[in-house]
C-alpha cells in the first residue's frame, strides 16, 4: 500500500505547516490536563505513579513503506507501546511521538500516521500529548507511552510461582505469517494475516483485567512466545511448561499458508514476533479474565527454561531487533 | 572530537551485549519506583500529575559525529528535554531514550552517550528509566522527559500580562557562535563557545524557582530569543519589549569571535537557537530568582509582537528544525 503520490511533499511545507495538518488529527485523551502547544504537556496521574515505556520503529528495519501505509505504521507504533503499558497491568493514558521524516515523503503519509495513532488511542481515551519533528534520511517513529496503575501493584515478569497457570491472550504467529507472505509477494493468499503484521491487534484491556484477577507475572509477547516465556521464566526463577495443544487454533489458522510457503507453522507460533499478545501467570484455580486461555503451567524444575510438551525448547533467540 | 576507533563496533555486539554495557552507566533516579528491565518502568508522581515532553536529535541535522562525541550528544539530548520540563516550572524526575544507531558506530560512542545522559541526570536525581535500541542509517536520539510540578500550576506561555517584567536566565547566542566556529573550522578561537554549542548548560533549577517566585509565563529559549519571545507574546496576547542593553554581557562575550567571522554579534544573541535559557515574565516588583535578570517588559500594545529598544523586530523565523 504505497502512500499516494499526489499532494505536497514534506519538503514543500514548513514545520509549522506540517504540524498544522497533524495536530487536529490527534486525540486529546481523558487524562490530559494540559494539551500540547507549550514546552510540555501535563497528564494526570491520580495513582501517584505512572508507568512509562518507549519503542522505536525504523523504516527498512521494522517496516517498509512499500508494504505499510502511514496509518499502518501509526497503528503499529501505538499498539506496541500500549501493549507494554498493558503488560504492567496499567491502563494507558497518553503517549508522545518523536518523528523523523525524509523531505520526499508525501505529507499525506504523515497525516496517515497521525490517523493511525489516533485510531488506536482515541477509543481508549489515550491522548497524543506531545511530539517532535525532524528531517532525516529514513522514517523513524519513536513513541513513549504512559499508563496508570489504578492503585494496584505493577505486574512484573518476576512474580510467577510454581503451580501457577500460564495463560495467553491474543494471537500467536499471525504477524510472522503475514510478514512471510509479504516477503514472498503472496499477500493475496491471506490478507487477514498480512493485516495482523501491518496492524497488530493487542488485547490491551486484558492487561488491567489480568492485574485485577491476581496475575502473578505478565509480559507483552513481542519477540516470540518461546523467547518471551523464557524471559518470564528467568525473571521469576521458575520453569515454564507450554502445551502445544493450547495453540491448536493458531496452528490450524496458519497451516494453509505455511504449506504454500513451505514453512512449519509451529515455528511461527513459537518464535514469531510482534503479535503483541499478553503472556501471564495466575494462581492455580483462578478464573482467567477474557480473552486469556491456559497454555501451560509454572514448575520449580528447569529454572529459567521453557519446555513445550515436556521437551526443552531449543535455545532460540526469537527476534533480535538490533541484528540484521 | 571523533569517537575512538578502537574497541568493538555496534555490529560486533548483540543487542543484549550492547545493553549490558549501557545499563550500568545510567542513573536510577530518586523518583523511580520500578527500574528498567520489565515491560515498562514506574515513576512516582506525588503531585498527581506529570509533565512530559519529547525532543529528537538526528545526526547531520542537529549534530555531526565529527564535531560531537557520544557524551556531547547525550548531554545535549538530556539538557534540551530537561529544559522543557523546567520551563513548565517542574522538577525533572525521569527520562526514557529511543536510540537508533548504525552498525559501524563504535560501541564506545554509545557508552559515551549513556555517560552524557548520566552526567546531566544524576546530579538532579533524574532517572534514565527506559530505552529502546534499533539499527538504522544514522544516529537518532529521541528523549522523552518527565517532571513533577510539586503542587504548583504549570507556568504556561500564555500568562504574561501588561506591566510584567520580562526576565531571562542563561546565555544568549553562545550556542550559535559556537556552531559558527565549528562551521568555519576555527574552534581554536574560543573553545568555551564551541562547548556552549556541543554541551549547552541550561539553568534547570531556575524553572521551579521561577514558578515559586510567581512567574506568570515561561518558555525554554531553544529557537532564538526573538522567535521564542514572539511565541510568548502571541500565546499571551501581549507585546514584548526587549532592551538590548540587557544583553550587553552576551554581546561583549561574543564580539571578538563575531569580528573574526564577520558576523554581527547581535544576530547571534537575538536569533541564535539552542542556548536553552529560560525566558519568563514576573509581576512588576517581583524579586527575580537567581540567575534571572530583567531584559524587558510586557506591554498591551503590539499584541503578539516583539520590539527591541522600541523597534519592531523583523519577522524572523529563528531556527526551523525541519527546514534544510
Q: What is the pLDDT of residues A7-17, one digit of tens each?
A: 999 999 998 89
The chain-wide mean pLDDT, for chain A, equals 94
- What is the residue whose three cell numbers read 507501546? A81
Q: Is A147 on the interface with B (CB under 8 A)?
A: yes
- Residues of A with Cβ-Cβ distance to B62 under 8 angstroms: 134
**Alpha helices of chain B — where are they, by DSSP H?**
15-22, 70-86, 107-121, 174-184, 191-198, 206-212, 225-236, 248-261, 265-271
The whole-angstrom separation of Cα B258 and Cα B256 is 5
CATH topology of domain A157-312: Phosphoribosyl-aminoimidazole Synthetase; Chain A, domain 2 (3.90.650)
Q: What is the pLDDT of residues A66-91, one digit of tens each?
A: 999 999 999 999 999 999 999 999 99
Strands (E), A149-189: 165-169
The answer to whether the CB of B216 falls within 8 A of the CB of B283 is: yes
User: Residue B222 pLDDT more than 90?
Assistant: yes
Query: Could you check whether the bond before residue B291 is cis, i.e. omega within 30 degrees of 0?
Result: yes
Query: Quick check: A231 contacting B, CB < 8 Å?
Result: no
Q: Tell whether A146 lies on the interface with B, counting CB pairs under 8 A.
A: yes
Q: A122 burial class (0-12, 13-18, 19+ CB within 10 angstroms)?
A: middle
Q: What is the CA radius of gyration of chain B?
A: 20
CB contact under 8 A, B42 and A51: yes
Rounded to 10 degrees, the C-alpha dihedral B106/B112/B114/B117 comes to -140
Q: Which of B45, B220, B320 comes nearest A39 by C-beta?
A: B220
Q: What is the ipTM of this complex?
A: 0.94
Q: Is A135 on the interface with B (CB under 8 A)?
A: yes
Question: Hey, are the CB atoms on A42 and B51 less than 8 Å from each other?
Answer: yes
Nearest to B321 by CA among A99, A41, A20: A99
CB B74 within 8 A of CB B108: no
Mean pLDDT of chain B: 94
B242: burial class by Cβ within 10 Å (0-12, 13-18, 19+)? Answer: buried
Residue B243 DSSP code? -
Look at A50 and B54 and tell me if their CB atoms are within 8 Å: no
From A48, A90, A219, residue closest to B45, measured CB to CB: A48
Contact B131, A54 (CB under 8 A): yes
Domain ranges of chain B: 10-148, 157-312
* Integer Cα distance of B61 and A126 in angstroms: 31
Cβ neighbours of B14 in A, within 8 Å = 320, 322-323
Angle, CA A76 vertex, CA A39 and CA B20 arms, to 5°? 75
Residue A102 near residue A58, CB atoms below 8 Å: no
| B6 inside 8 A of chain A by CB | no
Torsion over CA: B247, B252, B257, B263 (sign): positive
**Residue-by-residue pLDDT tens, chain A, 324 positions:** 444 557 999 999 998 899 999 999 999 999 999 999 999 999 999 999 999 999 999 999 999 999 999 999 999 999 999 999 999 999 999 999 999 999 999 999 999 999 999 999 999 999 999 999 999 999 999 999 999 999 999 999 999 999 999 999 999 999 999 999 999 999 999 999 999 999 999 999 999 999 999 999 999 999 999 999 999 999 999 999 999 999 999 999 999 999 999 999 999 999 999 999 999 999 999 999 999 999 999 999 999 999 999 999 875 444 444 433
d(CA B291, nearest CA chain A) in Å:
20
* Sign of the Cα pseudo-torsion (A132, A136, A139, A141, in order): negative
Q: Decide: B148 and B104 in contact? Cβ < 8 Å.
A: no
CATH 3.30.1330.10 fits B10-148, yes or no: yes
User: What are B152's strand-pairing partners?
Assistant: none
Of A18, A54, A85, the CB nearest to B132: A54
Interchain CB contact of A49 with B (< 8 Å): yes
C-beta atoms of A84 and B324 within 8 A:
no
pLDDT tens digit string along A306-324? 999 999 987 544 444 443 3
Amino acid at each position: 500500500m504505497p502512500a499516494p503520490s499526489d499532494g505536497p511533499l514534506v519538503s514543500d511545507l514548513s514545520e509549522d505547516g506540517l504540524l498544522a495538518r497533524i495536530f487536529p488529527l490527534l486525540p486529546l485523551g481523558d487524562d490530559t490536563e494540559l494539551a500540547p502547544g507549550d514546552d510540555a504537556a501535563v497528564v494526570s496521574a491520580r495513582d501517584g505513579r505512572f508507568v512509562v515505556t518507549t519503542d522505536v520503529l525504523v523504516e527498512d528495519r521494522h517496516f517498509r513503506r512499500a508494504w505499510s501505509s502511514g496509518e499502518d505504521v501509526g497503528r503499529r507504533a501505538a499498539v506496541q507501546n500500549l501493549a507494554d503499558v498493558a503488560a504492567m497491568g496499567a491502563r494507558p493514558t497518553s503517549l508522545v511521538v518523536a518523528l523523523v521524516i525524509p523531505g520526499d515523503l508525501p505529507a499525506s503519509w504523515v497525516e496517515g500516521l497521525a490517523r493511525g495513532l489516533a485510531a488506536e488511542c482515541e477509543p481508549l481515551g489515550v491522548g497524543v500529548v506531545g511530539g517532535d519533528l525532524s528531517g532525516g534520511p529514513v522514517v523513524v517513529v519513536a513513541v513513549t507511552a504512559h499508563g496508570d496503575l489504578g492503585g494496584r501493584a505493577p505486574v512484573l515478569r518476576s512474580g510467577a510461582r510454581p503451580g501457577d497457570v500460564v495463560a495467553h491472550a491474543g494471537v500467536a504467529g499471525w504477524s510472522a505469517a503475514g510478514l512471510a507472505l509479504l516477503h514472498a509477494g503472496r499477500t493475496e493468499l491471506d490478507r487477514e494475516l498480512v493485516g495482523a503484521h501491518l496492524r497488530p491487534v493487542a488485547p490491551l484491556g486484558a492487561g488491567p483485567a489480568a492485574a485485577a484477577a491476581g496475575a502473578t507475572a505478565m509480559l507483552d509477547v513481542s519477540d516470540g512466545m518461546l523467547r518471551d516465556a523464557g524471559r518470564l521464566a528467568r525473571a521469576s526463577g521458575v520453569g515454564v511448561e507450554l502445551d502445544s495443544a493450547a495453540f491448536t487454533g493458531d496452528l490450524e489458522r496458519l497451516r494453509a499458508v505455511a504449506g504454500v510457503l513451505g514453512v512449519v507453522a509451529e515455528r511461527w507460533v513459537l518464535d514469531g514476533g510482534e503479535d503483541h499478545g499478553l503472556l501471564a501467570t495466575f494462581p492455580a484455580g483462578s478464573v482467567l479474565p477474557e480473552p486469556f486461555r491456559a497454555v501451560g503451567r509454572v514448575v520449580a524444575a528447569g529454572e529459567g527454561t521453557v519446555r513445550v510438551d515436556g521437551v526443552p525448547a531449543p535455545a532460540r533467540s526469537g527476534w533480535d531487533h538490533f541484528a540484521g
